[in-house]
Structure 1
């Protein structure tokens, strides 16, 4: 019986570790958690405050969310597909529900593009406005940009005396 339990434990541990053995699998897991965290933030803000901005020079809560999504689309499509990215301006969503659906779609699209990227492609260097970068660096930038603006959104929630969701960092 002890041996069976030990084998089961080893099997579960190995399966868990195998899920984060590559840059891609680690990033995909983190990206899913990032999506859930940002959606939690978006859901925490009442719809009547989606046009709130702390100062005139800042974006509104909704504009921050859409800016995050636009950057996701740009980076994932430009550096993980061969199709030229179309930077057309789309009409702003009218409701909180539409905004959240757009954010989810952005995350899912980026996830699908990264998931289908071969592992060896992450080592490739691409031309970026800040100089040559590896695709691994582009992955980091995707998440860093989300984190940067998500932090601002947490401040927006706090200014409205709303409790942000619990942080998940992996």
Structure 2
């Protein structure tokens, strides 16, 4: 199997699951935090909505260095409306699909780096970074988001199996 085809299929599955979670986000709770050390709900929801767009970043650029001014546009910012979150998700998925469709296995084997604070935080083959820093990382934060949804009395969607609110 061509690696991009594997990632495109995974993109479709993860985009559908992410959309189900984002559709449940109640407006007006952006500053909610279940604990003082937790991230704010608005930031978390925007992060989850935009994470699939990181695939294009990893294919199109050789690195993301958050110390540089040209990286400012890649920082997550809370969005006030569910419609903005859904639009962010749609844009992220479209950009990821475009990048994956033009990628080759050879390019996906080349290194990609994430830098911050004058240090390389992580660097690996693009394919590994997409798998770990996008898909696995998204599952983690989407799981966090479902906990916040429960605490805010929203219905938790079935994602990898049924939830208490939604049977498959």
Normalising by the residue count of structure 2, what TM-score does the alignment of the two structures yield? 0.72
CA contact under 8 A between 1:69 and 1:103: conserved in structure 2? yes
Matching residue of 1:120: 106
Cα gap change, 1:57/1:131 in structure 2, threshold over 3 Å: closer, same or farther? closer
More helix per residue: 1
Structure 1 stretches of at least 4 aligned residues deviating more than 4 Å after TM superposition: 69-75, 82-85, 89-92
More strand per residue: 2
Please give the residue correspondences for 1:95-110 in structure 2 after superposition, counting only pairs within 5 Å.
Answer: 95-110=81-96
Q: 1:87 aligns with which of 65, 71, 83?
A: 71
Q: Deviations over 1:33-75 (max 9, x none)?
A: 2111111111112223344221232222221122245554455
Normalising by the residue count of structure 1, what TM-score does the alignment of the two structures yield? 0.71
Structure 2 segments unaligned to the other structure (5+ residues): 65-69, 115-119, 162-168
Asked if 1:142 is matched to 2:126, the reply is no
Q: 1:32 aligns with which of 12, 24, 32?
A: 12
Larger Rg: 1
Give the aligned CA root-mean-square deviation in angstroms.
Answer: 2.7
Q: Which gives a bigger RCO, structure 1 or 2 (Cα 8 Å, sep 6+)?
A: 1
